Amino acid sequence: MSFGNRAAAPPAAPPAGPFSPLLDRAEIPLGDPRGRRLLRGRRVLVTGACGTVGGALCRRVWRLGPAALCLVDKDGRGLERLARELAARPGGGRVTLAEADVRDAARVDAVVGEARPERLFHAAGRYRLAEVEHDPCRGVADNVLGTRHVLDAAVRHGVRRLVLVSSDRAAEPTSVLGATMRLAELLLQTATGGPTCFAAVRVGDVIGAPGTPFGPLARRIAAGEVVTIAHPEAARHVMTVTEAAGLLIEAAALAEEAETFALDIGSPVPVLDLVQRYAAQLRSPAVTIRFRGLGPGEKLAEKAFADSERRIRTAHPKIWGTRPLPPPGGVPRLLDALAAAAEAGDADEVRLLLRRLLPEYRPARRSLPASEVIREYR
């Protein structure tokens, strides 16, 4: 089983790109022709438009010539700045702004109903692991219930394609963040069978937003301050914002039946190596690193797909997909109970219901110990 044409000719070797020395690999080219066919002359809506991935996605969509682009975020000033930036760039037709919080079902429905998008990218959410682990009720409200509201509005108003921005932490989740992302993916499975085509995209850690790739990190290294990372062996899937935005658009074109997609960027990058390479780029003579130990829910390394998920080739040689099994029965009832627990601020009940909804969610409670030694790397 495959998505699209598997006989596509292999692409030419890509140019190195500015982030290649940092990532120790070439950036993966994600071409515009498929995206242009998908988006040119179409009405497009992006939630979380002011976020790192959402903003990069808006800039790329705009360049592909949509008839209209609706920017949705709860940051009103951020929306105005992004709209002014897009207006100064060559690209699509009309830009509209909608200040909205995805936790507000009525507001989401009104925005989608007014914009009438044909393509919808859902990038709004809460993606910081420690933040969601500390406040699981807010994590569920943003990532699960917010997705449910966007999904319901999309189906009600006839959106043709919807793409969810998920996380590689959804594969074999050990954190509340991973569980909420996996549950958001599961919601797409429950909505198949109608005219709307769904897809989820697992994104790793992202670099290359406007400004320096690691703003606070750059300032600490330049000032000679101690840099704190989780563990000497911690490794992460790292991609550029350009790769993330391109992957989302490619996934929208490749989607057939609520698949989950990920970009093949090789093995996770050791965080220690990443910091050292970045310090070398800044020409810092030395960087001092402290290891704090893994926090609750944190893994040494993430996977793009769970061992139980069958990877399937797509028309793009660097994009893989999987079709998860149908969701178990009783999901709507448990989701209602999860919503009630999150609204009541009952964190213990939220965690319990997440485990009932997702048998693969195995919370990691023990932290690996921090190093007692502060090491200096030159």
Whether the CB-CB separation of 154 and 112 falls below 8 Å is answered with yes
Whether the CB-CB separation of 45 and 79 falls below 8 Å is answered with no
Q: How far apart are CA 90 and CA 194, in angstroms?
A: 35
| CATH number of the domain that residue 143 is part of | 3.40.50.720
Domain assignment present for residue 314? The answer is yes
Number of folded domains that form the chain: 1
pTM here is: 0.90
Domain assignment present for residue 290? The answer is no
Domain assignment present for residue 373? The answer is no
| pLDDT tens digits for range 329-359 | 788 899 999 999 999 999 999 999 999 999 9
| pLDDT tens digits for range 44-102 | 999 999 999 999 999 999 999 999 999 999 999 999 999 999 999 887 789 999 999 99
Range 186-205 average pLDDT: 92
Residue appearing with tokens 């994600």: 30
C-alpha 128: how far from chain center: 11
Residues facing 119 on adjacent strands: 44, 161
**Cα distance between the two ends of the chain:** 49
| pLDDT tens digits for range 277-289 | 888 887 876 788 9
Which has more confidence, 364 or 316? 316
Residue 259 domain boundaries? 20-211+237-267+307-336
109 backbone φψ class: left, alpha, beta (φ>0; ψ -120 to 50) = alpha
Domain assignment present for residue 366? The answer is no
Domain assignment present for residue 81? The answer is yes
**Rounded alpha-carbon distances, angstroms, from residue 305 to 164, 264, 273:** 16, 11, 24
Q: How far apart are CA 279 and CA 236, in angstroms?
A: 18
Domain assignment present for residue 148? The answer is yes
Under 8 Å CB-to-CB from 46, ≥6 apart: which residues?
Answer: 54, 57, 58, 61, 69, 70, 71, 72, 120, 121, 123
Domain assignment present for residue 293? The answer is no
Domain assignment present for residue 38? The answer is yes
Q: According to the per-residue pLDDT averaged within each range, which of 46-50, 295-299, 311-315 is highest?
A: 46-50
